[in-house]
Amino acid sequence: MFAKSFRVKSNTVIKGSDRRKLKADITAAFPTLSADELSELIPNKEELNVVKIYAHKGDAVTLYVLHKNPLFFEVEKRLYPTVYLLWRYPDLLPTFRTWSPVLQKLIGGADLMLPGVVVPPGGLPDVKKGACCAVTVVNNRAPVAVGTAAVSSEEMYSLGMKGRGVSVLHTYMDHLWAFGDKSSPPSVPDEDCEEEMNEEECEFPEETEEKEEEMVEKSSEDQWCPSDPTMDALLLQCFLHALKSKVKKSELPLLTSTFLRNHMFSCCPSGKQIDLKKSSYKKLSKFLQTMQQQYSLVRVKELSKGVESIVEVDWKNPELRSFSPPEEKDVEASPVQDGGRGDVPYHPPEITTLYSVSARLEPLFLDANKRKGATMHPAEVRSIITEYVKKNELVAENNKNYVTINPTLCDCLLEKSEYQEVESLKWDDLFTRTLGRMQECYQVVYPGQAPVIKKGHIEPIDISVASRGSNKKVTLVKNLEAYGVDPAAVAATLQHRVQASSVLQPVPGSRDRVSVQIQGNQIHQVGSLLLGMELIPFQKINIIISKPLTLVSE
């Protein structure tokens, strides 16, 4: 809800009668709070502000702010605590535990999926569907997200811990958090977690900074490389180019490894290759530290244990503003070992989200000559809707933030129950409703091939561990074909790396797709291959680390 910026409508000091009502509402919503704790939260003689905002999707939200920190937010007459409040009372809500890398996805607006939930030996907390709950990361009881249970605890078990677990409303590092003092979560030891989790389970998610750098650096670990001044210059050029042309404010905070892999590498001129170990910095962390301390271009912060992110960019920095990106745009991709069959350059496909005109919305797009089934980028949809509104003079005269509903908009965007009630819509609501009633699809463009458009969402690469027999484990990798990756090449490369047998298995229900199966728990090795060799962006990989599925022995 707060992954994007919101608009403040009003900010007023709460009245005495409203303060008493708020106390009563908090007591009803959170009965475990004692009278003394309630008095600390809502003191009688201290200034408490009521801030009314509009979220980026048009939702009306009320914030209750004390000492510049929002403590509660109210949506549709229901109160929710913020992370600032939960850091003071971490046991206020039932809590679901997940791994630190998952936090980055939650901050980006994703919900908590059940495969990412760590189930303690005592079981999940007992919640009903829609119950308010919190999310923590392993080894720290300080909540980092707030939301509602997508299903009850019983249904979570019956679903085999698959599907949506928590519908996330607010997270640490989102815009609601940024409305406060921007403090970090306190360290609240989770002793039970430390005893429950064994080292093997925690090895891959708890990536250290060094491990992340190993995933994106291609130099040999055993070979010392002398410092090359031209490499320092190349790093600075690619760094400035990436900040100026690639990184958007909406992407922050951005993992440093993702920044290097997805942005700096793509800005490297043709015929050259970034090699950190040939620079004077040797490591990405030292290079970014220099960019922060000497140039003040970025601010880097450790948001979770051992994992650094770029949290701020100084877009007005003279060094950045004066930099002119080189004209060359086509960059050769780094070669990827193809299982002993020679070096094959791998170019990741370009994946773009599109929207298709539905039959219901066709009248709205007729003036733009867009018929049913026509696909467009979101920006093009906004442009067409804006032109339609202006052409039909539908901008409200009294308030230009609203659009008057005419018969066409009524039929296309309103529910039947709204026909007699809704006379106008905010611009954001108008765009949101339009996109919501269109068919979402995606376009995949492989180098040298014609674009391919498919309905729905592209499936991420799925990496999971399954059990065979009593103690044997195998690692399964699926959906490689969707990204133009040869499963046979991945199987051969993994077999050579880990010295374990690998086979290709047909995917049930699919004629032309196979999964890679390799002996042992090789999640780290698969992740290292796909991420470190620049195959697939991190957000396109789904790592399942929950209780493994038991397979029937052949």
Residue 199: pLDDT above 70?
no
Nearest CA to 175 out of 97, 70, 78, 246 is that of 70
Q: Give the least confident one: 207-221, 223-237, 368-382.
A: 207-221
> What per-residue confidence (pLDDT) applies to 92?
93
- Asked, for residue 246, whether it belongs to a domain, the answer is yes
Domain count, the chain: 4
* CATH number, position 425: 1.10.245.10
pLDDT higher at 258 or 25: 25
Greater pLDDT, 277 or 327? 277
Residue 458, Cα to own-chain centre: how many angstroms?
15
If one compares 497 and 42, the residue with the highest pLDDT of the two is 42
d(CA 171, CA 3): 8
Residues 427 and 515 in one domain: no
Query: Quick one: average pLDDT of 126-144?
Result: 93
Amino acid identity of residue 153, one-letter, is S
| Of 458, 475, 492, the residue nearest 543 (C-alpha) | 475
Q: Binning pLDDT at 50, 70 and 90, where does residue 69 land?
A: very high
The yes-or-no verdict on residue 222 having pLDDT over 70 is no
Highest mean pLDDT among 262-271, 319-328, 451-460: 451-460
Residue 44 contacts residue 66 (beta carbons within 8 Å): no
Could you give the angle at which helices 523-532 and 209-216 cross, rounded to 10 degrees?
50
Distance CA 534, CA 528 (A): 10
Q: What's the whole-number mean pLDDT along residues 323-336?
A: 52
Is residue 29 domain-shared with residue 95, that is, in the same domain? Answer: yes
CA-wise closest residue to 130 among 102, 166, 80, 156: 166
Kindly state whether residues 19 and 88 are assigned to the same domain: yes
| 438 and 463 both lie in a single domain | no
484 confidence band (pLDDT: 50, 70, 90): confident
Q: How many CA atoms lie within 13 A of 35 on its CB side?
A: 0
Q: What is the pLDDT of residue 49?
A: 92
**Quick one: average pLDDT of 199-203?**
38
The pLDDT value recorded for residue 541 is: 52
Q: Which residues contact 113 (CB under 8 A, 6 or more apart)?
A: 163, 164, 165
Supply the CATH number for residue 481's domain: 3.30.780.10
Percent of the chain with pLDDT over 90: 28
Task: Please give the pLDDT value at position 86.
Answer: 95
Which residue in 380, 368, 392, 249 sits closest to 316, CA to CA?
249
Question: Is pLDDT of 136 > 90?
Answer: yes
Q: Which of 35-39, 102-106, 272-276, 386-390 has the lowest mean pLDDT?
A: 272-276
Residue 224 belongs to a domain? no
User: Helix 487-498 crosses helix 523-532 at what angle (to 10 degrees)?
Assistant: 120
Residue-level pLDDT at 85:
95
Residue 43 within a domain: yes
* Single-letter amino acid, residue 63: L
Domain match, 406 and 491 both: no
Model confidence over 341-364: pLDDT tens digits? 334 456 677 888 899 999 999 999
pLDDT of residue 103 exceeding 90: no
One domain for residues 245 and 379? no
User: Residue 340 falls within a domain, yes or no?
Assistant: no
Burial class of residue 181 (count of CB atoms within 10 Å of its CB; 0-12, 13-18, 19+): exposed
Q: Quick one: 435 and 500 in the same domain? A: no
Is the same domain home to 486 and 410?
Answer: no
Tell me the two tokens of residue 323: 């930099």
Last residue of a domain, one of 408, 443, 478: 443
How confident is the model at residue 253, as a pLDDT?
85
Looking at beta carbons, which pairs linking 71-78 to residues 24 or more positions away fall under 8 Å?
71/41, 72/26, 73/170, 73/176, 75/1, 75/169, 78/29
> What per-residue confidence (pLDDT) applies to 221?
33
What average pLDDT does range 180-194 have in this prediction?
Answer: 75
Nearest in space to 534 (alpha carbons), one of 346, 375, 384, 395 = 346
What domain range includes position 377? Answer: 350-443
Across 135-139, 199-203, 549-553, which has the greatest mean pLDDT? 135-139
Lowest mean pLDDT among 13-27, 253-267, 360-374: 253-267
* Residue 450 is assigned to a structural domain of this protein: no
Please check whether residues 424 and 519 belong to one and the same domain: no
Token digits for 511?
């004629």
Residue 77 has pLDDT above 50, yes or no: yes
Cα–Cα distance measured from residue 360 to residue 363, given in angstroms and rounded to the nearest whole number: 7
* 428, 505: one domain: no
* Interstrand relation of 350-356 and 117-118 (parallel, antiparallel or unpaired): unpaired
**Does residue 222 belong to any structural domain of this protein?**
no
The DSSP bridge partners found for residue 504 are 516
CB contact at 8 A, 444 and 456: no
Q: What is the CA angle 63-67-72, rounded to 5?
A: 25
Q: How far apart are CA 441 and CA 453, in angstroms?
A: 7
- Closest by CA position to 546, among listed 116, 17, 6, 230: 116
- Spatial strand order of the sheet with 95-98 comes to 112-113, 164-171, 140-149, 132-137, 95-98, 117-118
Phi/psi for 39 (5° steps) reads: -65, -35
Q: Look at residue 192 and tell me whether its pLDDT is greater than 70.
A: no
Q: Is the pLDDT of residue 338 over 70?
A: no
Whether residues 174 and 69 share a domain: the answer is: yes
- Whether the per-residue pLDDT at 223 is higher than 50: the answer is no
CA 18, 24, 30: angle at the middle one, nearest 5? 130
pLDDT at 346: 63
Residue 210 has pLDDT above 50, yes or no: no
Does position 339 have pLDDT exceeding 50, yes or no?
no
Distance CA 171, CA 78 (A): 18
Query: Residue 324: pLDDT above 50?
Result: yes
**Could you write out the three-class secondary structure of 396-418?**
CCCCCCEEECCHHHHHHHCCHHH
Assign residue 101 the CATH number of its domain: 3.10.400.20
Closest by Cα among 141, 139, 143, 137 to 177: 143
Residue 190: per-residue pLDDT: 66
Checking if the pLDDT of 483 tops 50, the result is yes
The domain boundary residue, chosen from 402, 418, 443: 443
Same domain membership, residue 113 and residue 26: yes
Q: Mean pLDDT for the chain?
A: 80
Instruction: Tell me the pairing of strands 375-376 and 350-356.
Output: antiparallel
For 226-241, the pLDDT digits (tens) are 445 578 888 888 899 9
**Domain assignment present for 241:** yes
Q: Which of 374, 409, 443 is the endpoint of a domain?
A: 443
365, two tokens = 């797009």
Please report the pLDDT score of residue 532 as a whole number. Answer: 58
- Can you tell me the mean pLDDT for 158-185? 91
Is the predicted pLDDT of residue 205 greater than 70, yes or no?
A: no
Residue 449 lies in a domain: no
